Amino acid sequence: MGAASETLCYFNDAFVPLNAVAISPYDLGFLRGYAVFDVMPVANGRPFFWERHYERLTRSASVLGLAVPVSAPEYKKIIDDLIARNTFSEISLRTVLSGGPSRDGFTPAEDNETFLVLAEEAHRYPQAIYTEGVKMITLAYERPLPQVKLANHAIAIQDLPRRQAAGAFEALYVNGGTVSEASQSNLFIVKDGVLITTWDNVLWGITQGVALELAEELGIVTEKRDIRVEELLAADEVFVTGSSKAFVPVVQIDDRAIGSGAPGMMTQQLMAAFEKLVREY
């Protein structure tokens, strides 16, 4: 990341240097984790599927009783300006909306949200995770308000030491014998030529939606439904998707190899289609 005095962000209603951002100690995002967020990649200098990101942000905010303080066209202008006015070779955009300062540290004040859009240097993942695949571990957990992109990732962060000790890329959340999503990704499995992703009680991912559209274009049969743990472990292929990571093949879950233990053919087919989409975006 560039120097804070040089990096510009959008804070409430103005473009300011990053080191000029002053968030109240009584902000509900800080005190209570009462906030939603979004992370958006930039492809070829253009915000990638920005309309979908804005729509999801406003939907998440609405569930919490918050309002995004800018319209879609205003948001587009803000992110275009941030892309133009920051000098990172590769940019990622992070938007955060919190309940704002509260007099009693608990009750939101009407029309008092804190709104922040950050331009960050995007960091590429090692190429090996795409060519060789990754290990995941399971975690007994279900996110509260799962269809809201909450800023609160306390459980995922608390679990980091276990994850790192296991050499795992992420954790897969399991509840009542059903797997929902990963700590920072959406989940797909392939079984007998059918592509399956979880849909109820998960955050609907932007890249997840693009993956389903690409599959349809390629003539792949898809299903959106619950996935049982035993079905996950018996899958022919598994991969996860996310805005910052695209498509990542999963070749091991806990101590079980998935399929052949290498990235599967359908996974590679979809990865290639997505890479082409990004190149031509």
Over residues 35-57, the pLDDT tens digits come to 999 999 999 999 999 999 999 99
pLDDT at 4: 59
Would you kindly state where each structural domain of the chain is located, as residue ranges? 8-121, 128-280
Q: Is the predicted pLDDT of residue 67 greater than 80, yes or no?
A: yes
What are 172's two structure tokens?
A: 């897969």
pLDDT at 3: 60
One-character DSSP codes across 161-204: HHHHHHT-SEEEEEETTEEEEESSSEEEEEETTEEEE--TTS--
pLDDT at 1: 47
Angle between helix axes 206-217 and 50-63 (nearest 10 degrees) is: 130
Average pLDDT, the chain: 96
Which ranges of 71-150 does DSSP label H, i.e. alpha helix?
Answer: 72-85, 128-131
- Higher-confidence residue: 114 or 4? 114
Radius of gyration of the chain (CA): 19
Task: Give tens-digit pLDDT for 168-216.
Answer: 999 999 999 999 999 999 999 999 999 999 999 999 999 999 999 999 9
Instruction: Report DSSP state, residue 97.
Output: E
Q: Is the predicted pLDDT of residue 2 greater than 80, yes or no?
A: no
Provide CATH code, domain 8-121.
Answer: 3.30.470.10
> Would you place residue 5 in the very low, low, confident or very high pLDDT band (cuts 50, 70, 90)?
low
What are 40's two structure tokens?
A: 């958006």
pLDDT at 105: 95
Question: How large is the average pLDDT for residues 114-131?
Answer: 95
Task: Give tens-digit pLDDT for 226-278.
Answer: 999 999 999 999 999 999 999 999 999 999 999 999 999 999 999 999 999 99
Q: Do domains 8-121 and 128-280 have the same CATH topology?
A: no
pTM for this model (two decimals):
0.94
pLDDT at 160: 97
User: How close are the terminal C-alpha atoms of the chain, in Å?
Assistant: 25
What are 237's two structure tokens?
A: 């292929």
Given this structure, which CATH class describes domain 128-280?
alpha beta
Cα–Cα nearest to 166, from 268, 89, 254: 254
